[in-house]
Structure formats: C-alpha cells, structure tokens
Amino acid sequence: MSVVPPYLLEALERHPSERVRTAAQRTRSARVPHEQPTRPAARIAVHRPHPKHRLIYDDRHEQVLPGVLVRSEAEPSSGDGDVDRAYDMAGETLDFYAAVFGRDSIDDRGMHVISTVHYGERYLNAFWDGAQMVYGDGDGEVFASFTTCLDITAHELTHGVTQADVGFVYDGETAVLCESIADVFGSLVKQRMLGQTADEADWVLGSGIYGSGIKGVGLRSMASPGSAYDDPLLGGRDPQVAHMRDYVELGTTERTAHRNCGIPNHAFYLFAKAVGGNAWDVAGHVWYDALRSGLHRACEFRGFALATAEAARSHGAPVVEALHHAWRSVGVSVPQRAASAG
C-alpha cells in the first residue's frame, strides 16, 4: 500500500526536472506488494499493551528489505534524521493505539514494528508491505523525505491494523475503504500528538511533504476532497471526489482507491466536526469499534456505514443522528435498522 497516488507519480514523469522525472519513473517501476488478505488472529486477553519494540533499518538506497539494522528499542539517537524520525513516529503511532484503544501494537498481539529508511534512489513514496514500514527519501524538489510526516507513518501502519483485524480484499469499494480508514487514523494520530480538536485540525494528509515551489497543502484533504493541490507540475488539480455521484472506476484498483477515498474520508470529517471535541474520542472510537465488529473481508461502503451506525448506538441518539447525516451527505445510505439509538 503506497501513500502517494499513482496518478500523481504519472504526472511527475512529465516534470521539467530530469531528476524528478527519473525519480518518478523509478518509483513507478518498483513493485510494491499489496496488503495480503489474512485471517484475523484470534482475540487474546491483553490487560495492558506490551512495551514498544521498534527496529529501524537502513536500506542504503537499495531495494532489498529490511536492510541493515541501525537502531533498536531504547537505543539513543542515531544521528541520521530519517532513522530517528522513523523511530519516533512509529512510537507516536503505537502510543496512540495503546492509549486510545488499548491496542497491543499493530497486530494487537505485541508485534515488533520494523521500519526501513533510505529505500531506493530518491524513492517518491512510503508503504506498508504486509510486514513492515518502508520510507523513500523523496527527490528534494517535489517531495521531502517521507519520514517527515507523522500522519503518513500512521496511515501506513494502520494498513497493518486493518490487515490484522479484517484482512480486507484490496478491490473495488473495499480497497477504497482500506485507504480511507488509513487516512482517518493517520489524521487522528497527528491530531492527538498536536493536541488539536476536530475544529482546530487541518484534516490534511501529508502536510509539509511538498517542496517549497509546489502549490499544494498535502496529498489529500478530508475537509475538502479535491483541494489538496492545484499545480501543473502535479498534473493540475487534485482529482479526489467527495460524493458517491462522482465515484469513478479507473484502470487499476490503486488508482480507484486513491481517487474515491475522499468519500468516506469526508463522511468521517463531517461526523467528527458535528460531534466536536477531540476527534479520536467519540468519532474515532466509532470507526475503531466498527473495524473490530467482524466486518466481511469484501465489505463495501454501505456495510461499513452500517457497522459505524451500530457502533454509534452506545454513544446516544445525537451521535447516531450526526453519523447518519455525515454518511447521507456523501451519498451513502445506512439501513433503517441502524437509524436509532438504544
């Protein structure tokens, strides 16, 4: 699962800078494995999360994972900014899941979290490969290093969470949900670290990832899908959609997933804003409880919306109504049996 949409990389293959063009071509030609559907592990009683265990590797611009081990849990800073940011951001993400949801690491069973930095030569992406986190360095013109954005780290590690809990099939609307859920929790990890309420947050994934000459605020906007960037160097205006009437099937699953994940993203944004306060409290718990509710591996929008509506019931009628209004606003209806609380 890569965080940068393929259509953005395609646009960069036409960039006037040979450095950027070459980096985009290398990135697009590298095979990134998709999250493999796996049978969710049996739940085990966990009274408290295990201590964090992070392992950071340096790929030294190769593409052979995991690379050379350069920092382990509790060791001092390495002096390499990418190594140390990868270590810190994995820690922030693990702390979020432990403190907010009582989750024991990414798989809820205390797994060691492996990250590799300096992957490839000016690699323009970050991804979860089904077992670990991988960061490219960026090209220094369009993209900064992918270790510089906490929400990108949390987005990719959340793919590991969904892999462990559901094992989503990466196809159609299900793939869109995969990307959206990763965006939601990526944003929540950043908001909690910054101490921001739903009203204070920017709701932008990848804020700060672009170089100074790019006209854009990030990779995606949950508050206003389709407004994250508008720059001819990036292929023009951000093509994300925010409503089911604009849903489009594209040539590949990954293109479809990134183009359309603004729909459930915007539903979460509207819900969190309506509920107010810290988005990781009520709104975040509704999304997390829905994820843990026994979803089908091929769950689509209406099925996930129903699961969120059921999860909202314990929070009272106003929360249920806010949830339904958010889904209706993006063109997704929820079956009537979830329409009321209690």
Q: For residues 205 and 219, is the Cβ–Cβ distance under 8 A?
A: yes
Bridge partner residues of 2 (DSSP): 127
271: its two tokens: 């819900």
DSSP sequence for 273-321? HHH-S-TTTHHHHHHHHHHTS---TT--HHHHHHHHHHHHGGG-HHHHH
Residue 259 and residue 304: Cα distance in Å, rounded?
19
173 assigned to active site: no
Residue 125 and residue 75: Cα distance in Å, rounded?
27
Q: Phi and psi at residue 56, in whole multiples of 5°?
A: -115, 130
15 assigned to active site: no
| From 141, 156, 173, 310, active-site residue | 156
| From 34, 118, 159, 258, active-site residue | 258
Burial class (CB in 10 A: 0-12, 13-18, 19+), 15: buried
H-assigned helices in the chain: 6-12, 18-29, 81-101, 150-165, 172-194, 253-260, 262-275, 282-291, 301-312, 317-329
Q: For residues 2 and 155, is the Cβ–Cβ distance under 8 A?
A: no
Q: For residues 37 and 168, is the Cβ–Cβ distance under 8 A?
A: yes
**74 CB contacts (<8 Å, ≥6 apart)?**
none
Residue 245 and residue 262: Cα distance in Å, rounded?
12
Residue 55 and residue 116: Cα distance in Å, rounded?
9
**33 CB contacts (<8 Å, ≥6 apart)?**
129, 130
Residue 32 and residue 212: Cα distance in Å, rounded?
28
**Residues forming the active site:** 156, 258
